[in-house]
């Protein structure tokens, strides 16, 4: 996907990336999944300071270069994210430097504000309670993001888990507008309004949990077990996961399915040589909608986290 012209430099971003958010990230498991993924043609990898996968991803990239699986680091698109405890103007650059060090890289392709909330600097680990949070200085943090971009530490900058209301506010003062908003999006959280707004503002939407975070404690919608999706999959001779991913692709978003399994990694990029029908789309539009991450990372209700947007 190529972001159309806007005040910031347009970015090109591979449609499918490998997500690395998992409840537990084992270095060797992540590393071998990334190497396998690169061999299969994945060029986009999504990580975050919070996931515990930056180190393994960095090792895998170094090994892929050494093995000649890729000619240069520039062949990859690497995203990382600023964690809530570093969501303060003076802590952003050190946090980004730390991510770069873990990844053994000298620049990111995309750096995102992970959540629109700030935790006290010493509160790196969840669970959070209300006393852990402090007011979020978006203007100051975004200025630090722009500085990171100017310093060449990241080719583009963006946000994650921002509502339309929060994006509108950001766009109203940003010198460099966000390139991306990464949000929960799948057949059970279709994000129609947010996508329309992002399209109008040339902001690329990246869908996290495209398979509904199958198998995790957040998996409330069971999208891969949805009977309609299973039926559509059967009609096309595809898997339920491929139907979910193809549907996202046809919405014009980028997507980051997570799998550390060779067969499923392969399955998840084989979505480009077939398409869903109009009838499939009409049925998928009717799927009951529900957000998994209602309380964000805080684990308790924050009434303005998504500003009442569904």
Smaller CB separation from ligand A2P, 107 or 249:
249
Judged by CB under 6 A, does residue 209 bind ligand A2P?
A: yes
> Taking contact as CB under 6 A, which single stretch among the options 117-125, 151-159, 173-181, 210-218 is the one that binds ligand A2P?
210-218
User: Can you give the chain as a three-state secondary structure string?
Assistant: CECCCCCCCCCECCCECEECCCCCCCHHHHHHHHHHHHHHCCCEEECCHHHCCHHHHHHHHHHHHHCCCCCCHHHCEEEEEECHHHCCHHHHHHHHHHHHHHHCCCCECEEEECCCCEECCCCCCCCCCHHHEECCCHHHHHHHHHHHHHCCCECCEEEECCCHHHHHHHHHHCCCCCCEEEEECECCECCHHHHHHHHHCCCEEEEECCCCCCCCCCCCCCHHHCHHHHHHHHHHCCCHHHHHHHHHHHCCCEECCCCCCHHHHHHHHCCCCCCCCHHHHHHHHCCCCCCCCCCHHHCCCCCCCCCCCC
Smaller CB separation from ligand A2P, 116 or 257:
257
Judged by CB under 6 A, does residue 268 bind ligand A2P?
A: yes
Binding residues for substrate: 114
Figure out which of the listed residues 267, 283, 291, 295 binds ligand A2P, where binding follows CB under 6 A: 267
- Closest contact distance (angstroms) between CB of 218 and ligand A2P is 8
Burial degree of 71 (CB within 10 A; 0-12, 13-18, 19+)? exposed
- Closest contact distance (angstroms) between CB of 56 and ligand A2P is 14
Sheet holding 18-19, edge to edge: 18-19, 44-46, 77-82, 110-113, 157-160, 180-184, 204-208, 254-255
User: Would you state the structure tokens that stand for residue 43, as one six-digit string?
Assistant: 């060029």
Judged by CB under 6 A, does residue 211 bind ligand A2P?
A: yes
Known catalytic residues are: 51
Judged by CB under 6 A, does residue 88 bind ligand A2P?
A: no
How many chain residues are in contact with ligand A2P, going by CB under 6 A? 19
Q: Please, which of residues 222-261 interact with ligand A2P by CB under 6 A?
A: 224, 239, 241, 257-261
Judged by CB under 6 A, does residue 215 bind ligand A2P?
A: yes
Figure out which of the listed residues 52, 177, 210, 296 binds ligand A2P, where binding follows CB under 6 A: 210
Smaller CB separation from ligand A2P, 154 or 186:
186
- Closest contact distance (angstroms) between CB of 250 and ligand A2P is 17
> Taking contact as CB under 6 A, which single stretch among the options 6-14, 153-161, 172-180, 211-219 is the one that binds ligand A2P?
211-219
- Closest contact distance (angstroms) between CB of 154 and ligand A2P is 24
Judged by CB under 6 A, does residue 17 bind ligand A2P?
A: no
Judged by CB under 6 A, does residue 25 bind ligand A2P?
A: no
- Closest contact distance (angstroms) between CB of 29 and ligand A2P is 9
- Closest contact distance (angstroms) between CB of 175 and ligand A2P is 33
Judged by the rule CB under 6 A, the positions of this chain that interact with ligand A2P are 19, 209-215, 224, 239, 241, 257-261, 264, 267-268
């Amino acid at each position: 996907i190529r972001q159309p012209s806007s005040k910031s430099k347009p970015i090109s971003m591979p449609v499918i990336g490998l997500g690395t958010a998992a409840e537990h990230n084992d270095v060797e498991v992540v590393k071998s999944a990334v190497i396998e993924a690169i061999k299969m043609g994945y060029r986009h990898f999504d990580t975050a300071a919070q996931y515990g996968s930056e180190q393994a991803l960095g090792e895998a990239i170094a090994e892929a270069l050494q093995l000649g699986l890729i000619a240069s680091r520039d062949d990859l698109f690497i995203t990382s994210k600023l964690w809530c405890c570093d969501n303060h103007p003076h802590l952003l650059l050190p946090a980004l430097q730390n991510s770069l060090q873990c990844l053994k890289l000298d620049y990111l392709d995309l750096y995102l504000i992970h959540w629109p909330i700030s935790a006290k600097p010493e509160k790196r680990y969840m669970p959070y309670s209300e006393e852990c949070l402090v007011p979020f200085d978006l203007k100051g943090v975004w200025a630090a993001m722009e500085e990171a971009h100017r310093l060449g530490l990241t080719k583009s900058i963006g946000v994650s888990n921002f509502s339309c209301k929060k994006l509108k506010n950001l766009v109203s003062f940003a010198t460099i507008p966000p390139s991306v908003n990464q949000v929960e999006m799948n057949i059970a959280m279709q994000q129609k309004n947010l996508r329309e707004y992002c399209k109008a503002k040339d902001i690329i939407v990246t869908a996290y949990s495209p398979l509904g975070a199958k198998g995790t404690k957040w998996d409330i919608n069971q999208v891969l077990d949805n009977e309609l999706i299973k039926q559509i999959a059967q009609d096309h001779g595809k898997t339920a996961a491929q139907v979910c991913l193809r549907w996202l692709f046809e919405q014009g978003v980028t997507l980051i399915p997570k799998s550390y399994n060779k067969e499923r990694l392969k399955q998840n990029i084989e979505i480009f040589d077939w398409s869903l029908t109009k009838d499939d789309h009409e049925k998928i539009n009717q799927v009951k909608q529900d957000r998994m991450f209602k309380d964000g990372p805080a684990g308790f209700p924050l009434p303005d986290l998504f500003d009442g947007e569904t």
